[in-house]
Amino acid sequence: MSFLRLLPQRLPQFVRQVERDVETVINVLQPGPIGILEHKFTDAEIREAQATVRNAVENWRRNSTLERNPGAGSFDKSM
């Protein structure tokens, strides 16, 4: 309930912040010296990015498996 009481006080500030954020995105996306610049990625950059993504996915899968099966990845001290 306290959040709803604060909403009318914070709403104008929130709306102004959203407007500023949208203006920033629009300015960055406009072509030109400040906006989007075309970048041609080299084969090496593409391979490096793919390797980074592949490693991140492998880590995510490994962590997900460990979270679902807490004893699967640790050493069993009872042995």
Token readout for 13 is: 């500030």
Q: Is the pLDDT of residue 1 over 60?
A: no
CB 32 within 8 A of CB 43: no
CB 72 within 8 A of CB 65: yes
pLDDT, tens digit, for every residue of 26-73?
Answer: 877 777 665 556 678 899 999 999 999 999 999 999 998 888 887 755
The pLDDT value given to residue 47: 94
CB 62 within 8 A of CB 73: yes
Confidence (pTM): 0.41
Token readout for 10 is: 């914070």
Q: Is the pLDDT of residue 79 over 50?
A: no
